[in-house]
Amino acid sequence: MMRSLLLVLSLLVALPLWAAQISVPAGQGTLAKAIAGANPGDVLILGAGVYAGPVTIDRPLTITGTHDAIIDGTGQGTVVTIDAPDVSVTGVTVTGSGLDSQNLDAGIKILKKADRALVENNRVLGNLHGVDVHGGHDAQVRGNVIEGTQQFRMNDRGNGIYVWNSPGTLVEGNTVRWGRDGIFSNTSRKGIYRNNLFRDLRFAVHYMYTNDSEVSGNVSIGNHLGYAIMFSNKVVLKNNLSLSDISHGVMLNYANNADVSGNLVRGGADRCTFIYNAHKNLIYDNRFEGCNIGIHFTAGSERNVLTGNAFISNRTQVKYVGTRDIEWSFEGRGNYWSDHPGFDLGGDGIADSPFRPNDLMDHILWSQPAASLLTGAPAVQLIRWAQSSFPATLPGGVVDSAPLMAAPTITVSPEYTAMEADAAARRKESDLDDFDVNDLASH
């Protein structure tokens, strides 16, 4: 409450001298009438109560108030439509959009040419889409609490924040829960999506055809997939957390020239990281821990650099099926492998022997799953011992010529650790949503 009042006061101080400050009473049609009668630059101050929507802001205005000021769309289309440049919507509650996915019903929608919109410190609750940035340039979506609908199948819900063809969008410091994807960015560029918290979603961040942009400092907890970078070029993905996400932590699918660094993926049920037909990416100083597969790397991915990463306590550290060797070190610095019994006589932090995470039996088991029945057989153990003793017999695959002796550390706050534990516990107690993660690479 105090924060909202301080925000209102700060906005009033920053007003141009000619702007009017108009108090708008709650009620049916009062907000729409106030917008129609306002001059550009005016500030409409909403008090506690319900304001009937939908409304369209068609001139540069500021609409502000406290969270007790509720704009309710009563289930009809988009609740608040921004159709003019330099509009601010701050500090209020927006709820009650329609549920028409074809029309992209949303709590707040920013239209084409509605540039420099500010959507800040609002509660956007129970709408199909939360905030839809739909063509406006240089929008800022900051500090909002966005909770989507829990109706329908997860794939049929809306996104917390949908960015379409909206260059320069800043999405920062939001908390997004339920609905479909936390941020779905499609056919856009030069966006910054940072320091957001995502929970109980399909994807935390879902990129399609989004270039020259940054995803940094975000936290994904208990989602089906953390960060899906798909059909996108020159994306910086750094310092994000993926904690107890269900299928994947990070996916690069037809993603090229990305900078993927400083990310922690921990406790995923399937793959910490999946790299599918992705080229010329720098993947360094990440920590992949406690997944069934640390990194699934497909043979169609070329000219990627992997160095300084940590692969810790994954059931299978690397899944790569190929006929040639791929070097995973760069300029004399490789990666840390928790299952590498290395030693460092030189004391330089680099193990004295190279490491291969896979052997011939891995390749056989991946291509012939029925062979898993023989995993414990003495003959299989003999083959594995022979290959470790005579490396020339090994098939093509990942080779780390300079393994690290110590893993990079990435800290997690107690608050997020508690959320991670809660997500892991709930996952054990409940059935998964009817969402097929095996289809991800084709979308």
User: Is 357 part of a structural domain of the chain?
Assistant: no
Beta strand 293-297 with 316-319 is parallel
Residue 54 located in a structural domain: yes
Q: Please tell me the pTM assigned to this model.
A: 0.87
Judge whether 293 and 265 are in contact, CB under 8 Å. no
Tell me which residue range forms the domain holding 41: 19-324
Give CA–CA dist 175/197, Å, rounded.
5
Count up the domains in the chain and report the number.
Answer: 1
**386 pLDDT higher than 50:** no
A 10 A CB-CB count for 343 gives 10
pLDDT at 440 over 90: no
Residue 9 lies in a domain: no
What pLDDT band is residue 117 in, cutting at 50, 70 and 90? very high
Residue 112 in any domain: the answer is yes
* pLDDT at 122 exceeding the cut of 80: yes
**Backbone phi, psi, residue 35, to 5°:** -65, -45
- Write down the pLDDT at residue 443: 46
Confidence check: pLDDT of 373 > 80: no
CATH of the domain at 134: 2.160.20.10
pLDDT at 17 over 70: no
Q: What is the dihedral of CA 404, 407, 410, 411, to 10 degrees?
A: -160
* Residue 382 identity: L
Domain membership flag for residue 347: no
Residues 6+ apart with CB under 8 A from 313: 289, 290, 338
Tens of pLDDT along 261-302? 999 999 877 999 999 999 999 999 999 999 999 999 886 888
CA distance 322 to 302: 12
Q: Check residue 395 and give its pLDDT.
A: 58
> Domain for residue 135, yes or no?
yes
Higher pLDDT: 202 or 361? It is: 202
Q: Report pLDDT digits (tens) over 130-186.
A: 999 999 999 999 999 999 999 889 999 999 999 999 999 999 999 999 999 999 999
Q: In the structure encoding, which two tokens stand for residue 163, read together?
A: 């960015």
**Would residue 408 count as lying in a domain?**
no
Characterize the bridge pairing of strands 225-230 and 203-211: parallel
Look up residue 300 and give its DSSP letter: T
In a domain, 87, yes or no: yes
Residue 117, number of CB atoms within 10 A of its CB: 29
Phi and psi, residue 234, nearest 5°: 60, 60
Does 316 or 168 have the greater pLDDT score?
Answer: 168
Instruction: Average the pLDDT over 393-398 and give the result.
Output: 64
Burial 360-399 (b: 16+ CB within 10 A, else e): bbbbbbeeeeeeeeeeeeeebeebeeebeeeeeebbebbb
